[in-house]
Structure 1
Amino acid sequence: MSGNIVARRYARALFGLGVKKGDSQIESFGKDLAALSEVFAASPEVSAVFRNPIFSAEDKKAVVGKIMDKLEIQGAVRNFCLLLADKGRLDELPGISSVYAELLDEAQGVKRGVFVSAVKIAGKKQGEIIQQLEDQLKAKLVLDFEVDPDILGGVVLKVGDQVLDASLKAQLSILKETIRRGE
């Protein structure tokens, strides 16, 4: 699991609260955290305000409160963010969101990965690929499809910490090494 210790602790605490409230709340919390993280990513100034010790906790609460008002975030996530402001941890929110997403995926049996090909794959074919891989992995799979012409042909599949490199570039590299060793 990625993220620093602080982000993991806060994410686990919010996740535990979501578990007590039910599956729909777990997902709702995740969506709210993801929305807040997007705001942080889109506006580096916001993150800078939360990292800056010159601003008081009340100032930071006011800023995050306005952001949450615009995003219509209420309830436990709102209280959670206000707690982060009190503790001076609002700058950890993107990391908390990332760890929370990992916890949510794990709880739902979802695996995430990247499918890299040399050419763009059409939407219908993407669905077929995902279905075949889900059948093999016996798990729900969320894939990002990317195009990398440098692999020349074939595919590279990364799911979790596993990598399947069936690219032409990798095969040529193996052949080159074999020839170099004289086998």
Structure 2
Amino acid sequence: MAGDEPIVAGMAGRYATALFELAREAGTLDTVIRDLARFEAMLADNPDLMRLVRSAVFSAEEQTRAITAVLTKAKIEGIAANFLRLVAANRRLFAVRDMLRAFREMVAAHKGEVAAVVTVAEPLAETHRAEIKAALDGVTGKNVQVDVKVDPAIIGGLVVKVGSRMVDGSLRTKLNAIKHAMKEVG
């Protein structure tokens, strides 16, 4: 079904597609995805690295040197390292997060996986997480990778987002619906 294919457009999509094709042909998809996940975690944890990625003030040479040092320290090598150095050399680091997101979507589609975000009011026991995964696998007919977020503001229940579809079974939403219904009656 055409609607299930990830849509990659623009510059980030072109870079992600090139990376995906190269990693697939080399048989290193799992290694590349793991290395890039480590790089993304470093981005999230290091404000200076994030500033380097976002800023247009640094020259291509400065960005390439800095990225090379980061990759060496993190022991990220091969296709992932070459890709990140190329992105820096081409002054495209500002879009690297979009490139990596598009790449992850292509890998997931290639593997027949679907990502789901499940928001709950409090942390789930592993048995409940497994039950939710099994239910989503059954509904979608695919291998669903479940990312659980905790948001106490939903009070109870859960909100499930798979692709562009969302089901909101939170207690907060139900209470708001009752509140609006009561206003209409009164």
Tell me which of 6, 13, 17 is aligned to 2:11.
Answer: 6
Q: Say if 1:63 and 1:3 are closer, same or farther in 2 by CA, change over 3 A.
A: farther
Alignment of 1:34-45 (within 5 A): 34-45=37-48
- 1:74 — aligned with what? 77
Q: How far apart in 1 are the matches of 2:181 and 2:63?
A: 60
Return 44-53 or 60-69, whichever deviates more.
44-53
* Contact residue 3 and residue 98 of structure 1 kept, 8 A: no
* Contact residue 61 and residue 85 of structure 1 kept, 8 A: yes
- 2:104 — aligned with what? 101
Render the CA deviation track for 1:24-67: whole Å, top value 9, x for unaligned: x1121122222222222322323433534453x33322211111
- 1:139 — aligned with what? 142
Matched, 1:60 2:63: yes
Alignment of 1:1-183 (within 5 A): 5-22=10-27, 25-50=28-53, 51-55=55-59, 57-182=60-185
Amino acid at match of 2:64: K
Any stretches of 5+ residues in structure 1 without a counterpart? Answer: none
* Contact residue 114 and residue 159 of structure 1 kept, 8 A: yes
* Contact residue 130 and residue 141 of structure 1 kept, 8 A: yes
Q: How far apart in 2 are the matches of 1:74 and 1:109?
A: 27
Q: How far apart in 2 are the matches of 1:167 and 1:53?
A: 45
Report deviation, 1:4. 7.1
| Secondary structure, counterpart of 2:49 in structure 1 | helix
Over the aligned positions, Cα root-mean-square deviation in angstroms equals 2.6
> How many residue pairs get matched?
180
| Secondary structure, counterpart of 2:36 in structure 1 | helix
Q: How far apart in 2 are the matches of 1:110 and 1:42?
A: 27
Return 131-140 or 8-17, whichever deviates more.
131-140
Greater RCO structure (CA 8 Å; 6+ sep): 1
- Using the aligned pairs only, state the percent identity: 27
Render the CA deviation track for 1:121-179: whole Å, top value 9, x for unaligned: 21122112212221222111122223334333332212111111223333333344444
* Contact residue 8 and residue 14 of structure 2 kept, 8 A: no
Q: How far apart in 2 are the matches of 1:172 and 1:54?
A: 50
Render the CA deviation track for 1:89-128: whole Å, top value 9, x for unaligned: 2332222112111111121121112222334321122112
Q: How far apart in 2 are the matches of 1:47 and 1:120?
A: 29
Q: How far apart in 2 are the matches of 1:34 and 1:16?
A: 18
* Larger-gyration structure (1/2): 1
Q: How far apart in 1 are the matches of 2:42 and 2:124?
A: 31
- TM-score (ref. length: structure 2): 0.80
